[in-house]
Amino acid sequence: KVHRGVIAAIEAFNSNDMSHSGTWCFMIKGDGQQGKTRLINELYRECVHQDLKCLRLILNAKHTSMPFWTVKYCLGKILESENENGNIQDVIADKFSVLPVKREYLCALNSIFDTNFPAHSTASSSVDNLKIRKLALRILCHHLSSHFWIVFIDDADYIDADSLELLPTIFQARNVFF
C-alpha cells in the first residue's frame, strides 16, 4: 500500500488545502544490505500501478560533484512533462508570466537550470543571491505542476551540496512528495 504520508499529501493537494505548512518528505535510513532500495522500488511500483505521477532517481558518487544536478533533474523532468514542446527556459518563463512576481527573479534560476534569463542583479552579496534563488525556487515549486508528483531518490547520500541546500525549500511545495 502507498505510505500514509503520501495519501495525506495527495488528499491535501486534491482538496486544494493551502493550510498545510509541513513538508512532504520522508526518508528511509539504514545500514547497507537492509532492503532500502527494494522498499523504494516496491513503493515506486505501487504508485505507478495506481496511476500516480512518479519520478525515480538513482544517484551515485559522480552526482556529488555536479552543482544543482538533483534539483535540476527532478524539477526539470516535472516541468518538461507540463510542456513537451518547449525548452526548460520557455516553460519556466511561462510559469512566471502569469504570476505577479518580479521578472528579475528568473535570473536567479540560471545556475540551477542552465538557462539564460537576463541578469538583473539587485543582490549585494552571496547571501542575498541565495535568498533570491530560494524565493524564485519556492515560487516555481508552488506553481510547478497541475498534477501531484512523487519523487523517489535512491542513495540520497550522493545529492550534491547545492541541491541539498535547496531541498528544504522544495519540500515545502504542496504538489511534490519526496
pLDDT attached to residue 106: 87
pTM of the predicted model as reported, rounded to 2 decimal places? 0.80
* Cα Rg of the chain (Å, integer): 17
Task: Quickly list H helices, the chain.
Answer: 4-14, 36-49, 69-82, 88-97, 110-113, 126-142, 161-171
Helix axes 161-171, 69-82, angle to 10 degrees: 50
| Per-residue cell: 162 | 547545492
80 CB-contact burial (10 Å; exposed 0-12 / middle 13-18 / buried 19+): middle
H-helix segments, 63-143: 69-82, 88-97, 110-113, 126-142
Bridge partners of 57?
153
In total, the chain counts a number of residues equal to 178
Below-50 pLDDT ranges, the chain: none
Burial track 11-21 (b if 16+ CB lie within 10 A, e otherwise):
ebbeeeeeeee
Say if CB 134 and CB 168 are below 8 A apart.
Answer: no
Predicted confidence at residue 123, as pLDDT, reads 52
DSSP state of 143: T
- Write out pLDDT tens, residues 15-28: 665 555 556 677 77
- Provide the edge-to-edge strand list for the sheet that holds 53-58: 53-58, 149-154, 176-177
pLDDT value, residue 99: 77
